[in-house]
Amino acid sequence: MFAVGISAAFLFTMNSCEQKKSGQDQTQETAESHEGHDHEGHDHGTASVVEVPDYSNVSQEAKNQIKEVYQSYISLKNGLVESSQEKAQKAAQSLEDKASKVNTEAIEGDAKAFVDEQITAVKNYSEKIASASDIDGQREHLEGLSSSLFALVKATASNPETAYYQFCPMANDDKGGYWLSEKKEIENPYFGESMLKCGESKETLSHNM
């Protein structure tokens, strides 16, 4: 689903993150020197890593409800950045509740099928995060949640602000992982403080007033 090319910038990101990972057991001074290797400058802007159909003509009611889902997701993501299981759990519960309230009855045809599919996935992943026994268990489901929500928000043009789709190659046992952020600055929800700046923006969704 992700058409992500391995560019020089991507390889630079991977190398920098590898350096961060290997330096976790070193002194604090060494860890701080690695912290400087963030990748905020590597913003791919309008590059598209996820192709979705254009369902931006869905009802305004549905868009407003999806915006609320997005905001709850951001709270969840920030809870994981802080490595707070409690904050992430509460945000996941809110996210599941908001997703359950999205009214798709006024949406027709393929658009309804698409929105329903993504909403169902968002609810399922949110429930898994809310019921996880620890922060690592919560983070295991972030990739699936982020993938479904990004597709939903992008297809319906429902982001309430500029949104950044960001990627860390070290997440999920080096398989890599995406997340959505409200800010361009990298704050990695897969690792928190241990590798806070590891990652880069892969796609940017502009907010159209």
In this predicted structure, what is the pLDDT of residue 29?
A: 35
In this predicted structure, what is the pLDDT of residue 17?
A: 66
The conformational region for residue 60 under phi > 0 = left, psi -120 to 50 = alpha, else beta, is alpha
Q: Which residues contact 110 (CB under 8 A, 6 or more apart)?
A: 53, 55
Nearest by Cα to 180 from 193, 168, 194: 168
Regarding pTM above 0.85, the answer is no
Other CB atoms closer than 10 Å to residue 115's CB: what's the count?
A: 22
Other CB atoms closer than 10 Å to residue 103's CB: what's the count?
A: 11
Buried b (16+ CB within 10 A) or exposed e, 25-49: eeeeeebeebeebbbeebbbeeeeb
Collect the ranges in the chain with pLDDT lower than 70: 1-46, 208-209
Buried b (16+ CB within 10 A) or exposed e, 158-193: bbbeebbbbbbbbbeeeebbbbbbbeeebbbbbbbe
Q: Are the C-beta atoms of residues 112 and 104 closer than 8 Å to each other? A: yes
In this predicted structure, what is the pLDDT of residue 207?
A: 75
In this predicted structure, what is the pLDDT of residue 208?
A: 63
Q: Are the C-beta atoms of residues 162 and 74 closer than 8 Å to each other? A: no
In this predicted structure, what is the pLDDT of residue 18?
A: 54
